[in-house]
Amino acid sequence: MVRKIALEEHFLSPGLVDYWRPTMTEVAAPVVEQLFKRLTDFGELRLASMDRAGIARAVLSISGPGVQAERDAAMATRKAREANDFLAVEIERRPDRYAGFAHIAVQDPKAAVDELERCMRDLKFRGAMINGHTNGQYLDDPALYPFWERAEALSALIYIHPTDPVVPAPVLSGVPALRRATWEWGFETGSHALRLVFSGLFDRFPKARVGLGHMGETLPYLLSRFDSRAKLYGVKLAKPPSQYIKDNIVVTVSGVYAAEPLRCALGALGRDRVMFAADYPFENAEEAGHFMDTVALGEDERADVAYNNAAKLLGL
């Protein structure tokens, strides 16, 4: 069993439960209660699952949407800070097993900058997870340039987690099985990341670092397409879009445990840009761990994806 660091592992703090429960309305009640039990546990249940999967360290983050769904900026800022303090206490109890991504309310850009710095410098978090758009505002919005400036200065990884789109895509109407995790979230989150690329955000902040789950939300499969269409439509960037994806974006395997997409991600982005994640408790950590242990890779490459890349990127 190869040693692993897992990057997309979720929890809930007391003040954010009411944002989470409405996202579970289409899930059977007993399943929701099992998820809630695991999201609020930092002891036996979580650690036993990690041990069975070979996960040495889990980087914990709020289960979405969190404060990204809050319209009152002051309340969002307060609740995000409370969630970060809550997580810091849990990490302090088991610093050998847990690390953290900050929960950030970007509704107030100045407060977001201050909270990111506090979490990185004082709480020793490893970056931040943003649960998609914030009431329709995406992370390429110029109002958030101060946030990116500070994230770049702190070398903070900004992990973009899926969320529901502002308006459901009409093409999915009448086919509810394609909504959310099946297809809708991947399209939404991949599009969010592409906004950062095509807006020129990475020209302005060339050392900014972004994380995507689910084997890159389809981006590794379409690098040449992005380049050819950018050229056709006269997109003005310093580099081809694919180069920003290779330089500024890292991906995890969360929820996609199959050899073919892993080979694509490794070939498209490079072996140092792909990392492990279990997406606990929404995916089976043991299944994720078994996949990482047995997928056809050279042992050095397996160790890099499972542990070494995250350890280097996040300073673990």
The span from the CA of 19 to the CA of 299, in Å, is 42
- 45, 50, 114, 115, 156 from 280: Cα distances, Å: 11, 9, 29, 25, 22
CA-to-CA separations, 118 to 21, 112, 251, in angstroms, rounded:
28, 10, 25
Tell me, what amino acid is at 120?
M
Contact call for residues 64 and 20 (beta carbons, < 8 A): yes
| Closest residue by Cα to residue 214 from 138, 160, 289 | 160
Q: Output the six-digit token pair for 119.
A: 């979490």
DSSP 263-303: HHHHHHH-TTSEE----TTTS-HHHHHHHHHHSS--HHHHH
Give yes or no: 164 in active site. Answer: no
User: Which segments of 14-54 does DSSP mark as H helices, in order?
Assistant: 17-20, 29-39, 44-53
What's the residue count for the chain?
A: 316
286 residue type, one letter: E
Which one-letter DSSP state was computed for residue 137? Answer: B
E strands in the chain: 4-11, 55-62, 98-100, 102-103, 127-130, 157-160, 209-212, 249-252, 274-275
DSSP secondary structure code for residue 132 in this structure: S
Catalytic residue among 227, 279, 300, 304: 279
Query: Which of the residues are catalytic?
Result: 279
